Structure 1
Amino acid sequence: MTVRSILSGIALAFTAYLSARSLLWTLPETVERGWLLIAALVIYLPITWLWVLLPTRHHEAATGGASADTRAAPPRWALALAVLAAVLVPNAAFAAVNDAGRAQPFVTWVIGGIGALMTVVMVRRRPAIAWIGTGLLSLSAAVWLGPLSALSLGLVGSLVWVAAAQLITFALDRVARDAEQLSELQQAASAWQASQSGRQRERRLHVQRALHVAGPVLGRTIETGGNLRPSEKSAARLAEQSLRDELRSPRLLDDGVRAQIDAARRRGTIVMLFDEGGLEDLPASALSDIRTELARVVRDAASERLIIRTSPHHEVAVTVVGRTATAGAGADEDDVDLWREIRRPS
C-alpha cells in the first residue's frame, strides 16, 4: 500500500463524511426545495472523488536540451468541473432552505466540502483553479450568509486548508528539486572519484611497466658505475625511448604496438610518437582496432624514421609518416616514403 493510496482513502472518507451531513435535516421545516440539497450532493461527490482518484498524466518540458520536470496535468474538463462545483453546490444548498435554515450544518457543509475539493485541486498543482473556486465559494457564502457569518461557519477553515496545501506543495516541490540537485552532485562526485581511481590505476600500470623496462638497466648501471658494454648501452637507449613513449602517447600503445615499435628500433629505425589529442572520446573497441592497424603499419614500414601522431580530425585518428634520407643529400634532407592515415572507425 502506497502513501498515495492511503491519502486518497483519507480524502474519500473525509469528503464522504462532509457530504453525509447534508442528509441530516435537523430542521426539516426550513427545507423548501429538498431536491436542491440532493442535487448538490449528487454534483459534489462525483466531482470530488474524480479529482481524488484522477490518474496522473505527465508531460515533459525540455529546458536547454536537458531533461525537465514532470508535473501532474489534469485534463481541462476536470478543471471546468471543479469550477462548476464551486458555483453550483453552495448556491444549490443555500437556495434549498429559507433564511432560518441557512446556518444549519446540513446546509453549511458545502463550505467545508468545496474547501476540501479546492484543497485537492491545489495538491494537484492547479493553484489558479483552486483559488478561483475558493473565491467563488467565499462570494456565494458571503451573499447568502453575510461575510461575518460565513467566516464563523467554516469559511476560515476552507481558506486555511487551501493556503496550507499551497505552502506544503511548494515546500515539497522545493525539497524534490533540492533532492534532484543533490543526486546530480552525488553522481558527479561518483564520476569524478571513478575517474581519479582510473587515473591512479593507469599511473600504477605506467610505474610498473617503467620498472619492468628500466629496472634491470638501472640496476646494471648502478652495479657497474656507469661502465656499460655496448649491448647494455643499446638496451638502455631502447628503455629510455620506451619510457618516453609511455609518457607521450599512452593511448596509442598496447602490447602489440609496443612489440612492433621495439622491433623497428632494434632494426635501426627511429620511431617518434606524439599524442596531440583526438582519441579521448573513442570507445575501447575503436582504440583496439586503431592499435591493431598501427602495429601492422609499423611492422611493414621500411623507413629510417617513423613519425606517429594522433589527429583531432573528425575522420583521421592517427597519421604515420615515414622518411628516408636521400642518397648523396645532406643529413637533414630526406624523402617521405610512407604516408598512412588510420581512419576513425565509423
Structure 2
Amino acid sequence: MTGTVPDIRDLLGMRTPAAWALVTAYALTCVVLAAYAAPDAESIWPLALAAAVCVTAAVALVAVPGDPMPLGPSIAMASTGLVSCGLVLSVVPVPMSDLSPLWTVGLSKIIFSFMCVRGRVGLAWLGLVLMIATAMTWSGQSERFGFAVLAINAAPVLMGTVFAYTIRPVIRSIYALREQSTQRIAAEAAASAMIEERDAQLDRLDELARPLLERIASGSQLDDAELLECLLLEARLRDTLRAPMLHDPALVEEVTAARRRGVEVVLLDDHGMDGAEPAVRERVQGAVADELVAVADGSVTVRVLPPGRAAMVSVLVSGDTVRRAEFGPDGHRRKGPVGSSA
C-alpha cells in the first residue's frame, strides 16, 4: 500500500468492547488448545509461552495505533507463527500422529489476516511462509502435507490481502472526503460567526453614532454638550478597536463618566487576557471600574499586558500623585512592589 490513511481501527470498530471481547475469546482458545496439547508434550512452559506469544500479538493488533501499523510491532507480529510453532514443535513428539500440535498455525493465520487489513501485507505473507517452513521442516511431514497446510491457511491471509488492496483505497477516499467536509463546515461556521459579529458591530455603531450623525447632517451648529458627546463617542469607538477585552458595559460606563469629569483615559490591549476565564475577566473589569471611580482629574492608563507577564493588567493613575495597580492572572490585585508595564 502507498500513502497513509487515518487509523482504520475506527472504521472496523477495533476500539470497541466487542473487539476486546473477541480478543478475550481468542486468548481463551489459545489456553484451551495449549492445555489440550499438554499431555503429549515433554515440557509445559513452551506451550504456555507459545500461547502467550499469540495472545500478545492479538492484543497488539487491536491496541497499537497508527495506519499502516508501525513497522516495529508489525515485524514482531510477523514472527508470531515462527516463534509459537517452533516452541510447540520443540516439545511434542515428531513425526506427529495427528495435526493437533499445529494449533498455533491456525491461530497465527488470524494475526496475519488482520495484519493485511492494517496495511502490512508483505510482512503478513512473510510471517505465513516462515511459519509453514518451520512446520514442514520440524514436523517431519511430507512436502504434500506442507503444501496442503499452506493452501488451507493462506486463504484467510489472501482475503485480508484483497481487502487491503481494494477496500483500503476506498477508506482513504472516505476519510479524505470527511476531512474536506469538516474543513468546509468549520470555514462556514467561522464565516457565519464573522458576519454575525460584523452585523452586531454595525448595529452597535448605528445605535451610538446615528443620532449625532443626523444632528451633524442637519447643518445646525453643535453646542458644547454635543461637541463633548462627539468626543466621547470617538473615544469609545477607539477603545472598542484598541482594547476589546476591556469593552465591558459597566467598565465603559465608568470610563465615559471619568472622561466627562475631565480625566484622560487611555485603554490598551496587548492580548494578555485573551485566554482568561470569563470570571477572571469580570473580576478585572470590575476592579478597573472601581479604580476609575476614585479618579477626579489627571490621567489613567489601563493596559492589558502581553501574555507571559507576572501581571495581566496594569492601571497607572497620574495626577497630583502617581499610583499604579496590577492584577495577576487570577484577576486579583497583586500585593507588594509592582513592575514596569513596558
Give the alignment's TM-score, normalised by structure 1: 0.61
Is the contact made by 1:238 and 1:262 (CA closer than 8 Å) also made in structure 2? yes
For residues 303 and 194 of structure 1, the distance between their equivalents in structure 2, rounded to whole angstroms, comes to 46
Q: 1:193 deviation in Å?
A: 5.4
Is the contact made by 1:321 and 1:336 (CA closer than 8 Å) also made in structure 2? no
For residues 165 and 208 of structure 2, the distance between their equivalents in structure 1, rounded to whole angstroms, comes to 64
Unaligned runs of 5+ in 2: 1-16, 116-122, 332-342
Secondary structure of 1:144's counterpart equals coil
Q: Deviations over 1:57-88 (max 9, x none)?
A: 786789xxxxx9xx9999x9999655434666
Identity across aligned pairs (percent)?
20
Secondary structure of 1:339's counterpart equals strand
Structure-to-structure mapping, 1:300-311, within 5 angstroms: 300-311=294-305
Instruction: Return the match for 1:84 from 72, 84, 87.
Output: 87
Q: Deviations over 1:321-343 (max 9, x none)?
A: 2233xxxxxxxxxx762322222
Instruction: Return the match for 1:261 from 234, 255, 262.
Output: 255
For residues 39 and 9 of structure 1, the distance between their equivalents in structure 2, rounded to whole angstroms, comes to 24
Is the contact made by 1:48 and 1:117 (CA closer than 8 Å) also made in structure 2? no
Q: 1:274 deviation in Å?
A: 1.5
1:287 aligns to 2:281 (yes or no): yes
Unaligned runs of 5+ in 1: 20-35, 63-67, 97-106, 325-334
Distance 1:123 1:175, change over 3 A: farther
Letter in 1 for 2:293: R
1:273 aligns to 2:267 (yes or no): yes
Instruction: Return the match for 2:141 from 132, 140, 144.
Output: 144
Q: 1:110 deviation in Å?
A: 7.3
Letter in 2 for 1:116: G
Is 251-260 or 168-177 further displaced after alignment? 168-177
Q: Equivalent residue for 1:297?
A: 291
Structure-to-structure mapping, 1:303-342, within 5 angstroms: 303-312=297-306, 313-324=308-319, 337-342=322-327
Q: Deviations over 1:122-180 (max 9, x none)?
A: 35759587664333124346x5313xx24553423424544654775799899889988
Structure-to-structure mapping, 1:26-175, within 5 angstroms: 39=40, 56=59, 81=84, 83-85=86-88, 92=94, 94-96=95-97, 107=98, 115-123=105-113, 132-140=130-138, 143-146=140-143, 149-150=144-145, 152-162=147-157, 164-165=159-160
Larger radius of gyration: 1
For residues 160 and 78 of structure 1, the distance between their equivalents in structure 2, rounded to whole angstroms, comes to 16
RMSD of aligned residue pairs (Cα, Å) = 5.2
For residues 179 and 86 of structure 1, the distance between their equivalents in structure 2, rounded to whole angstroms, comes to 45
Is the contact made by 1:320 and 1:341 (CA closer than 8 Å) also made in structure 2? yes
Give the alignment's TM-score, normalised by structure 2: 0.62
Q: Equivalent residue for 1:345?
A: 330
Q: 1:182 deviation in Å?
A: 7.8
Q: Deviations over 1:228-265 (max 9, x none)?
A: 22211111111111111111111112111001001001
